[in-house]
């Protein structure tokens, strides 16, 4: 037998009696196996990864009334976080940046133990809050695919989209000064490739599907349209889907025990303090109240020339507007904030504050240069200021966060403007030598507004003894627990600055027993103003840091 051959598989092309070297060289030149494998690959004769992943994508592009959406099979999700790792790697995210995460749902009944891992990312909502709230139109919802994209070059880093999104999807990057978010790997989808999370899941728990937007609106907002299948239910113990109508479908064939809760629902996560916004809100609202009471705080000549209180109000307003710029990641683009006027309350707030500043400066100039020429100018400036206060209220009430709802936020912001305006007008009135009867009126206004503000600030604590770990309960727990010292200091400053000291001044000056111009009274009013300002800064800090929104299971706090 010739070496290199066998009975079953003789060497192809080997001549009888050929030497082993010649036989080996002829075998190396035979590429029939390689050619055959290439033909199989070209003809899809063998199941490869491309065909496998292609089955996780829709067969056609969205038709009118449809859009792409994530579909998650809860029965297949094991919580391995392969999707999280793939999303992080493919999109080049920062070390502390996350666009997809996993969480856990558990049974709240010990008699029926149950747990379910959940993977979640951007839901590419039908009515996205991030898009509606952006003041510079830095979001775009593609008309065909329905994917909500963030336009990095348009973003100014105001972070309002983070507050507007119930699911805290946009993530702020301090290094870039902008927010970023999941775009469903739209470039890969355009080439027929699956997103990173879809391709990385070893259990094929995530796929891209097509959804009917009308069905989603019907399910989440109760429109009179056919409802979607019952197996496409939204997750329990999560933000209200009616806010933005998320498109992600969570599928399961198991019967979930009731009640089902997020495993981390009892955790308390202090939110960012947003220090520039704290100063901006307090100072602009104080300027609004002072503008309103400027004629009363004028000197002995009546209300004809309230130059001093108007000047102080302009200083407060200007300081508030300047500090707000420090909250922006890209302040150079702040001039474009009017672009979102149609849908964004933040754009409306900025426009109202700009109008307030313009009319306020005109009123101050008129009071300083021509005392009796334009006595009516402070009134429209004050109206613009109150319009700005209303817009500020809606900026936070429109986020859908329960601790920031209108009924809670409106008394706080209106009370701040009324109380600080009264206390500052009282201090400036004593400095400018206002009559005793006007000082007494300002004392009464300070006391009344101070009591109103104390009641408004105490309202969130009514939920302290709830046991449901709702956002209102968790906010009260933070305000009374971890930040209890600051909250008590806030209350003490408001009591002393807006109630106790003004009451003492009113009693001391009653019947002209003590003239308002005496040094002791002046010192008391200045101390009252400083204490009231300090109390409001603490209250507004707690307003931001203690708010506890509903969250997706396991999603990191923004």
Whether residues 347 and 466 share a domain: the answer is yes
The alpha carbon torsion through 290, 293, 296, 301 (nearest 10 deg) reads 60
Domain boundary (262, 284, 300) is at 262
**In this model, does residue 206 exceed pLDDT 90?**
yes
What would the DSSP string read from start to end of 102-154?
EEEEEES-TTS--EEEEEE-----SS-HHHHH-TT--EEE-TTT--EEE-TTT
Domain of 77?
53-262
Indicate the DSSP class of residue 495.
I
Residues 236 and 366 in one domain: no
Helix H, strand E, coil C: the string for 122-135 is: CCCCCCCHHHHHCC
pLDDT of residue 244: 94
- Domain ends where: 234, 262, 290? 262
Domain match, 400 and 432 both: yes
pLDDT at residue 19, as a whole number: 73
pLDDT in tens, 62-114: 999 999 999 999 999 988 999 999 999 999 898 888 999 999 988 877 777 88
State the pLDDT at residue 152.
94
Question: Distance between CA atoms of 511 and 197, rounded to whole angstroms?
Answer: 77
Question: How many structural domains compose the chain?
Answer: 2
Strand 178-180, strand 206-212: pairing: unpaired
Based on the domain organization, do 282 and 242 belong to the same domain? no
Same domain membership, residue 289 and residue 243: no
- H-helix or E-strand containing 440? helix 436-458
For 429-444, the pLDDT digits (tens) are 888 777 778 888 999 9
Sign of CA dihedral 547, 552, 555, 558: negative
pLDDT at residue 54 above 90?
Answer: no
Q: Are residues 205 and 317 in the same domain?
A: no
Domain end point (choices 230, 262, 294): 262
Q: Report yes or no: 58 and 210 within 8 Å, Cβ to Cβ.
A: yes
Residue 17 falls within a domain, yes or no?
no
Query: Averaged over 38-44, what is the pLDDT?
Result: 61
CATH number, domain of 377, equals: 1.20.1630
Strand-pairing partners, residue 69, are 209
Please report where in the chains the tokens 């009252």 appear, as a residue. 528
Strands 260-262 and 206-212: unpaired
Q: Helix-strand-coil percent breakdown of the chain, rounded to 5? A: 50, 10, 40
Q: For residue 201, is it within any domain?
A: yes
Q: Please give the C-alpha separations between residue 115 and each of 121, 248, 293, 472, 552, in angstroms, as whole numbers.
A: 20, 20, 59, 26, 15
Largest CA distance in the chain: 135
Q: Look at residue 36 and tell me if it is in a domain.
A: no
Return the closest-CA partner of residue 549 out of 222, 169, 180.
Answer: 169
pLDDT value at residue 232: 40
pLDDT at 249: 93
328 shares its domain with 443: yes
The full length of the chain comes to: 558
Q: Mapping DSSP to helix (H, G, I), strand (E, B) and coil, where does residue 423 land?
A: helix
Residue 38 binned pLDDT confidence (cut-offs 50, 70, 90): low
* Same domain? 437 vs 540: yes
Look up residue 403 and give its DSSP letter.
G
Q: Check whether 124 has a pLDDT greater than 50.
A: yes
Asked if pLDDT for residue 151 goes beyond 90, the answer is yes
Rg (CA), the chain: 33
Tokens of 424: 């500052």
Q: Considering the chain, what is the average pLDDT of its residues? A: 86
Kindly state whether residue 15 falls inside one of the protein's structural domains.
no
Q: Is residue 395 part of a domain?
A: yes
pLDDT of residue 407: 95
Check residue 34 and give its pLDDT. 60
Q: First and final CA of the chain: distance in angstroms?
A: 77
User: Which helix (DSSP H) or strand (DSSP E) does residue 71 occupy?
Assistant: strand 66-73
Residues 306 and 195 in one domain: no
> Highest-confidence range of 100-109, 179-188, 304-313, 387-396, by mean pLDDT?
387-396
Note the pLDDT of residue 136: 96
465: confidence class by pLDDT, cuts 50, 70, 90: very high
Say if CB 382 and CB 352 are below 8 A apart: no
Question: Is residue 32 scored above 80 in pLDDT?
Answer: no
Rounded CA-CA distance 330/177 in Å is 6
Encoding tokens for residue 278? 């704290």
Q: Which residue has the tokens 């349209």?
A: 225
Q: Over pLDDT 70: what percentage of the chain?
A: 85
Q: What is the mean pLDDT of residues 134-163?
A: 95
The verdict on residue 339 lying in a domain is yes
Whether residue 237 is found in the same domain as residue 308? no
Q: CA–CA separation, 254 vs 76, rounded Å?
A: 12
Three-state SS at 463: helix
Q: What is the pLDDT of residues 362-372, one digit of tens each?
A: 989 888 886 55
C-alpha 496: how far from its chain's center? 34
Residue 459 pLDDT greater than 60, yes or no: yes
Asked whether the predicted pLDDT for residue 3 surpasses 50, the reply is: no
228 and 298 belong to one structural domain: no
Residue 44 lies in a domain: no
Going from the C-alpha of 84 to that of each of 73, 88, 128, 179, 314, the distances in angstroms are: 16, 6, 23, 18, 50
Instruction: Say what the pLDDT of residue 10 is.
Output: 42
Whether 103 and 251 map to the same domain: the answer is yes
Q: Residue 230's pLDDT band (boundaries 50, 70, 90)? A: very low
In 3D space, the residue among 430, 447, 389 whose CA is nearest the CA of residue 413 turns out to be 389
In a domain, 20, yes or no: no
């Amino acid at each position: 037998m010739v070496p290199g051959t066998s009975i079953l598989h003789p060497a192809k092309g080997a001549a009888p009696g050929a030497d082993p070297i010649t036989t080996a060289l002829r075998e190396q030149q035979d590429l029939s196996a390689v050619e055959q494998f290439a033909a199989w690959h070209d003809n899809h004769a063998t199941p490869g990864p491309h065909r496998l992943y292609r089955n996780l994508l829709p067969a056609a592009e969205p038709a009118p009334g449809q859009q792409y959406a994530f579909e998650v099979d809860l029965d297949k999700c094991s919580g391995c976080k392969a999707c999280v790792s793939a999303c992080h790697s493919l999109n080049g995210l920062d070390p502390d940046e996350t666009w997809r995460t996993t969480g856990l749902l558990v049974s709240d009944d010990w008699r029926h133990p149950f747990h379910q891992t959940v993977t979640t990312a951007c839901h590419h909502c039908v009515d996205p809050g991030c898009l509606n709230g952006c003041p510079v139109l830095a979001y775009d919802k593609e008309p065909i695919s329905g994917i909500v994209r963030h336009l990095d070059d348009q973003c100014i880093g105001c972070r309002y989209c983070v507050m507007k999104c119930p699911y805290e999807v946009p993530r702020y990057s301090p290094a870039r000064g902008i927010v970023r978010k999941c775009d469903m790997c739209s470039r890969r989808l355009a080439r027929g490739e699956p997103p990173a999370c879809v391709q990385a899941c070893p259990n094929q728990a995530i796929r891209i599907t097509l959804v009917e937007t009308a069905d989603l609106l019907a399910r989440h907002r109760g429109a009179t349209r056919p409802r979607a299948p019952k197996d496409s239910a939204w997750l329990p113990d999560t933000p209200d889907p009616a806010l933005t109508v998320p498109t992600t479908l969570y599928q399961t064939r198991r019967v979930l025990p009731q009640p089902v809760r997020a495993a981390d629902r009892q955790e308390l996560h202090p939110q960012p303090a947003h220090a520039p916004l704290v100063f901006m809100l307090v100072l602009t609202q104080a300027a609004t109240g002072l503008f309103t009471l400027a004629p009363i705080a004028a000197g002995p000549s009546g209300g004809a020339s309230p130059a001093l209180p108007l000047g102080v109000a302009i200083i407060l307003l200007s300081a508030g507007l300047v500090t707000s710029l420090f909250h922006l990641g890209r302040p150079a683009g702040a001039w474009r904030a009017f672009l979102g006027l149609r849908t964004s309350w933040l754009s409306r707030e900025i426009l109202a504050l700009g109008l307030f500043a313009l009319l306020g400066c005109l009123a101050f100039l008129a009071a300083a240069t021509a005392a009796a020429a334009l006595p009516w100018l402070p009134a429209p400036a004050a109206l613009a200021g109150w319009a700005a206060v209303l817009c500020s209220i809606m900026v936070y009430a429109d986020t859908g966060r329960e601790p920031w709802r209108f009924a809670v936020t409106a008394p706080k912001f209106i009370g701040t403007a009324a109380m600080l305006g009264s206390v500052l007008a009282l201090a400036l009135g004593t400095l400018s030598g206002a009559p005793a009867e006007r000082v007494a009126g300002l004392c009464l206004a300070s006391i009344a507004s101070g009591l109103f503000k104390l009641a408004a600030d105490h309202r969130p604590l009514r939920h302290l003894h709830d046991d449901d770990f709702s956002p209102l309960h968790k906010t009260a727990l933070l305000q009374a627990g971890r930040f209890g010292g600051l909250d008590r200091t806030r209350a003490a400053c408001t009591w002393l600055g807006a109630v106790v000291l003004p009451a003492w001044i009113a009693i001391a000056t009653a019947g002209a027993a003590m003239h308002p111009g005496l040094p002791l009274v002046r010192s008391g009013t200045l101390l009252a103003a400083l204490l009231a300002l300090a109390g409001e800064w603490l209250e507004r800090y707690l307003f931001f840091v203690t708010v506890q929104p509903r969250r997706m299971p396991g999603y990191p706090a923004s």
